[in-house]
Amino acid sequence: MSLSYSLSIILSLALAVYCGPVSQVNVKDEDFAESYLKKFFNLTEETGPTIRRGISPVSRKLIEMQRFFGLQITGTLDADTVAMMKKPRCGVPDGNLARFSTFGQYKWEKNSLTYRMENYTPDMSVSEVDDSIERALQVWAKVTPLRFTRIYSGTADIMISFGRQCEYRELSVVEKVHFTKVKRRNTIS
């Protein structure tokens, strides 16, 4: 084997190793991700069967988060996952919230959803209600793959109505949001 042939093989191998994809995630991102998962997805330090099977608690929570946001499910901290974590959001945790019946149990079969106002509250003008609903839906659209379109007749994916929940408690906010693709009726109060 000649020296030039050996050098060309070594150079080719070195080039292949150093020209591979470079991770876009750094130690600062890893620390941020761990804090994010603790705050919003109830990441805890665990031992036991999960660890013995080789699935770390961080990987399990990354999978949960990636599924929740419609990202590619890898269980690893990639650039898309970090970008989603860095988007603006509310302070309410997303994972394992039993008190909200739609979290984790239902997922829209599509990302383009329609909504319709069935009626309005007497506490606000029609334009105030319309603007408030539009702004609220845009908050969701900015941080999820969901897109919302208003319709004015027929059955929408989301039917919004105002009313009384019970005789002694009048609500001045959206009382019911009916998810037409879900069998259960959900109440927001």
Per-residue pLDDT of 52-89, as tens digits, reads 566 788 889 899 888 888 889 999 999 999 988 888 77
Q: What pLDDT, on a 0 to 100 scale, did the predictor assign at position 40?
A: 82
Confidence category of residue 147, pLDDT binned at 50, 70, 90? very high
Instruction: Note whether 30 and 88 are same-domain residues.
Output: yes
Residue 46 sits in a domain whose CATH number is 1.10.101.10
Any binding-site annotation on 19?
no
Any binding-site annotation on 94?
no
Residue 148 sits in a domain whose CATH number is 3.40.390.10
Q: What pLDDT, on a 0 to 100 scale, did the predictor assign at position 166?
A: 43
Which whole-number Å values give the CA distances from 86 to 80, 81, 146, in the listed order?
Answer: 10, 9, 18
- This prediction has a pTM of 0.41
Residue range 166-187: mean pLDDT, rounded: 42
Number of domains in the chain: 2
Q: What pLDDT, on a 0 to 100 scale, did the predictor assign at position 174?
A: 42
Inter-residue long-range contacts of 54-62, CB under 8 Å, 24+ positions, other chains counted? 58/33, 58/34, 61/37, 61/95, 62/33, 62/37
Structural domain containing residue 155 = 112-187
Any binding-site annotation on 80?
no
